[in-house]
């Protein structure tokens, strides 16, 4: 008779088979953790010089077109990052851009700096759970300190400060030279919204019209939508219909 073999170590089940693409490197342990940190630091160093109003632009060629920008989210999106750990920095940047719309470079650099500081502990063999416990405690202390030193500027009665905040966010954008036009426009757009419980920023839309330049931009206190009209002998004519808020 044919002898039977029972896989007792796997609960009587056949062990799973892991299929990896040819050339895939599989590693684990301390060496892999250090490799992950090094990869993330390399990505952070790529966008480090774009930070701030004096940050330099990056020229990125993706194989089809050339992009020149110093916006962190744009650069991170264009980088062809293969390392799985370094890709998390791209996800962080995209999340920051979707939730806040600014600070995409800062979050990448902050994450890179945190990894740089914990690298010696990883090399010494400290368990990752202990490191994460320390980071969570540090985050709580940092948030508490920020709340402690925060100053209430009375945003409702301090329009100039709000325009300064808006200008700071525009420093790294292409329209930074037109801050005098767009800063008051941004503040007006947000001020129109209901502040209770919190302003719904999805109610603010941006409509792009071909032709002209950015200095012809203006704020509509109402609704603007694209509409097509048909005239005899003229075919379809596209224009924007504006429904302003009653005074």
Residues sharing a CB contact under 8 Å with residue 74, sequence separation 6 or more, in sequence order? 67
- Name the pLDDT band for 169 (thresholds 50, 70, 90): confident
- Name the pLDDT band for 30 (thresholds 50, 70, 90): confident
Q: Indicate if the pLDDT at residue 183 is higher than 70.
A: yes
Q: Indicate if the pLDDT at residue 149 is higher than 90.
A: yes
Average pLDDT of span 228-245: 63
Q: Indicate if the pLDDT at residue 93 is higher than 50.
A: yes
C-alpha distance from residue 68 to each of 17, 65, 107 (Å): 45, 10, 21
C-alpha distance from residue 168 to each of 72, 156, 163, 211 (Å): 15, 19, 9, 28
Q: What is the pLDDT of residue 142?
A: 93
Q: Indicate if the pLDDT at residue 89 is higher than 50.
A: yes
Asked if 242 and 224 count as a contact pair (C-beta separation under 8 A), the reply is: yes
Q: Indicate if the pLDDT at residue 139 is higher than 90.
A: yes
Q: pTM above 0.95?
A: no
Average pLDDT of span 63-82: 82
Residues sharing a CB contact under 8 Å with residue 221, sequence separation 6 or more, in sequence order? 192, 244, 245
Q: Which range, of 73-87, 127-141, 187-201, 233-247, averages the lowest pLDDT?
A: 233-247
Average pLDDT of span 146-169: 81
Average pLDDT of span 95-112: 86
Q: What is the pLDDT of residue 233?
A: 60
Nearest to 185 by CA among 223, 219, 160: 219
CA angle 220, 183, 175 (to 5 degrees): 95
Whole-angstrom distance, CA of residue 174 vs CA of residue 220: 22
Q: Indicate if the pLDDT at residue 11 is higher than 60.
A: no
Q: What is the pLDDT of residue 213?
A: 82
- Name the pLDDT band for 96 (thresholds 50, 70, 90): confident
How many residues comprise the chain? 247
Nearest to 173 by CA among 47, 57, 66: 57
Q: Indicate if the pLDDT at residue 12 is higher than 60.
A: no
Half-sphere exposure of residue 205, counting CA atoms within 13 Å on the CB side? 11
């Amino acid at each position: 008779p044919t002898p039977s073999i029972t896989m007792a170590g796997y609960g009587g089940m056949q062990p799973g088979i892991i299929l990896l693409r040819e050339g895939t490197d599989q590693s684990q342990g301390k060496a892999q953790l250090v490799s992950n940190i090094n990869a993330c630091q390399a990505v952070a160093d790529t966008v480090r010089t774009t930070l701030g109003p004096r940050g330099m632009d990056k020229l990125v060629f993706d194989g089809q077109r050339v992009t020149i920008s110093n916006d962190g989210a744009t650069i991170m999106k264009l980088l062809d990052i293969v390392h799985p750990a370094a890709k998390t920095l791209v996800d962080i940047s995209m999340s920051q851009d979707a939730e806040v719309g600014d600070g995409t470079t800062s979050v990448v650099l902050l994450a890179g700096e945190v990894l740089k500081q914990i690298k010696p502990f990883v090399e010494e063999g400290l368990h990752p759970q202990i490191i994460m416990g320390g980071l969570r405690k540090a985050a709580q202390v940092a948030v508490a300190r920020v709340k402690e030193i925060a100053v209430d500027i009375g945003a409702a009665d301090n329009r100039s400060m709000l325009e300064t905040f808006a200008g700071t966010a525009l420093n790294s954008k292409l329209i930074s030279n037109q801050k005098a036009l767009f800063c008051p426009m941004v503040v007006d757009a947000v001020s129109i919204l209901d502040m209770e419980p919190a302003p719904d920023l999805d109610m603010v839309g941006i409509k792009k019209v071909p032709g002209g330049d950015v200095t012809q931009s203006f704020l509509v206190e109402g609704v603007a939508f694209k509409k097509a009209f048909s005239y005899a002998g003229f075919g379809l004519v596209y224009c924007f219909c504006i429904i302003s808020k009653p005074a």
